[in-house]
Chains A and B, each alone.
Chain A
Amino acid sequence: MGNEHSNQQPGQPTRSKSLTRTGSKGPEPDLQDDPGRSASPGPSVCSDSELPYISYTVSRPIGDSPKLQPKHLQRGKSATSSPVRTRQPLLAAKSVQSRIRPASFPNKTTKAHTIVVVKPALENNDLEADEDQLRLRSTPMFLPIMRGTLNLPAARDPEVLERLDPGGLVALGSRYQQYLANCADMVAAEQNQLTGRVKEIDSGLNRLMGNLSERQKRFAKLAEKLSKVHEVSSQLNRCHSLLNHLIESMETLNNSLPIDDRLEPFVWTTG
């Protein structure tokens, strides 16, 4: 244990620097000694005057990344000295940031649950450029409202709660709620209006369609009736020609009779 600590002492400043630098070399020497432990602060940070956890955890995530697999790392460390695994930041890169060099991990490729690389690791080692981490780091240091209530959670609750006024937050929340309700109501009202218009238009079109079809039927009947005019005219023509023929044949017949029996010439008169 003592040996471990004495090893850790000089290693700590390099560890802290490397975490901000690359993050890849950082945890390795530490975890080589103590694979299952989280990155706890060194003895220099330990002091009773100030709350230790705040100054430590401002710039560093608490504990390890949940994706840390110490067993693999142990095996990896034994196989090679160079780091082959980047520590995944807490705030979630979506891709699996594991770089596997197959030559150095022969046992891994043959395992049943080998790591499947969905997307190759980003070559960007720049952990500091991550937006979310930058924003996290830029939050100012603050002390909790109820200091010292970690150890005694119920000790000064009523006192502090009297001093805390939730009215502002409640007002903000209810205003936002009202605003959301107004926006949603406006949108829903307009949408319902549109729906009503669609219905109106549909019914209007239906009516129009009925009118048109009715008119079409009527006109079809009328057109059929009027088309009889054509028939009438053709029949009239036939009548006319037949009558003329008749008159001619009557003339010839009359002329073929002897003069005594001839009728008077036929004159076409109308009454």
Chain B
Amino acid sequence: MASASSTSARSLFAESKSRLADRVQVNVNNIASVARQISRGSRASEAVVHSAKAFCQQEQAVANSEDNLKKMTLAVAHLGYQYEAINKNCMLLEDVKEQVRAMQR
């Protein structure tokens, strides 16, 4: 009796275990598909990925801007030198005027 019931119990439980495992698998798959539907339906990742790609393409623009800024600093330095030179020459103009006046006397 004990042996019969335990064998039948074992076979019974084996089958029910496999069925339960199947059910659980089906349920888990369903939940997973619901989750996938939610995440895909909201198009969250698409939008974010799209904007990230666009932002990455600005990297070239940013590098360009940095180059421009560096060139600008150099250009500003050059402009400073030119200003100094022009200033000096303007002062010289005054001297030249004096010289001409002296020569005219």
Interface residues, chain A, CB within 8 Å of chain B? 1-2, 5, 38, 40-43, 45-46, 52-53, 56-57, 62-63, 144, 150, 173, 176-181, 183-185, 187-188, 191-192, 194-195, 198-199, 201-202, 205-206, 208-209, 212-213, 215-216, 219-220, 222-223, 226-227, 229-230, 232-233, 236-237, 239-240, 243, 268, 270
- Known interface pairs A41-B9, A150-B19, A202-B64; A209-B71 also in contact (CB < 8 Å): yes
The answer to whether residues A43 and B44 also contact, given A56-B13, A199-B58, A232-B96 and a CB cut-off of 8 A, is no
Interface size range on B against A: 35 or more
- Does A206 lie within 8 Å of B68, measured CB to CB? yes
- Contact indicator B100/A226 (Cβ below 8 Å): no
B38 touches A233 (CB 8 A): no
Cα of A193 to Cα of B20 in the assembled complex, Å: 52
Query: Taking A199-B58, A223-B85, A233-B92 as contacts, is the C-beta distance between A184 and B47 under 8 angstroms?
Result: yes
**Which residues from A are CB-within-8-Å of B38?**
173, 176-177, 180
Could you tell me if A178 and B99 are in contact, using CB atoms closer than 8 angstroms? no
What are 24 inter-chain pairs, A to B, with CB distance below 8 A?
A38-B14, A52-B16, A57-B17, A62-B17, A62-B21, A173-B38, A180-B39, A180-B44, A181-B42, A184-B43, A184-B48, A188-B50, A191-B54, A191-B55, A202-B65, A212-B75, A219-B82, A220-B82, A223-B85, A227-B85, A229-B92, A236-B96, A237-B99, A240-B103
Q: Which residues of A contact B19 (CB under 8 A)?
A: 150
* B residues in contact (CB < 8 Å) with A: 2-3, 5-10, 12-14, 16-17, 19-21, 23, 34, 37-39, 41-45, 47-48, 50-52, 54-55, 58, 61-62, 64-65, 68-69, 71-72, 75-76, 78-79, 82-83, 85-86, 89-90, 92-93, 95-96, 99-100, 102-105
B104 to chain A: closest residue by CB: A270
Closest approach, in angstroms, between the C-beta of B91 and any C-beta of chain A? 9
Contacts of A179 in B (CB 8 A): 42
Question: Which residue of B41, B54, B78, B86 contacts A222 across the interface (Cβ within 8 Å)?
Answer: B86
Measured CA separation A253–B67 after assembly (Å): 70
Give min CB distance, A116 to chain B, whole Å. Answer: 30
